[in-house]
Amino acid sequence: MFSAGPAEHMGRPPKTTEAQRQFIHTRLVKGETVTGVVRDFKVSRATVLTVRDKARP
């Protein structure tokens, strides 16, 4: 079996970059709807909701 090193990422690659996630969060904070963000970024609703939920303190 293979094992990942301490800095090696395991799992599925993210659909968005860190910059995109920050931009999505900014747009949601400014009051844009999840549906609007989903259409612009061409990602699933679940992806946008995950970005929103992970950005909460």
- Which residues form the domain of 29? 18-55
Q: What is the pLDDT of residue 11?
A: 87
Q: Residue 9: inside a domain, yes or no?
A: no
Q: Residue 44: inside a domain, yes or no?
A: yes
The model's pTM is 0.76
Q: How many domains does the chain have?
A: 1
Long-range contacts from 18-26, C-beta under 8 angstroms, 24+ separation: 21/51, 21/55, 24/48, 24/51, 24/52, 25/51, 25/52, 25/55
Q: What is the pLDDT of residue 56?
A: 76
Q: 17-49 pLDDT, tens per residue? A: 999 999 999 999 999 999 999 999 999 999 999
Q: Residue 26: inside a domain, yes or no?
A: yes
Q: Residue 30: inside a domain, yes or no?
A: yes
Q: What is the pLDDT of residue 2?
A: 60
Q: Cα-atom radius of gyration of the chain, to the nearest Å?
A: 14
Spatial contact of 25 and 52, defined as CB atoms under 8 Å apart:
yes
Alpha-carbon gap, residue 19 to 5, rounded angstroms: 26
Residue whose structure tokens are 């995109």: 20
Q: Is the pLDDT of residue 5 over 70?
A: no
Q: Residue 10: inside a domain, yes or no?
A: no
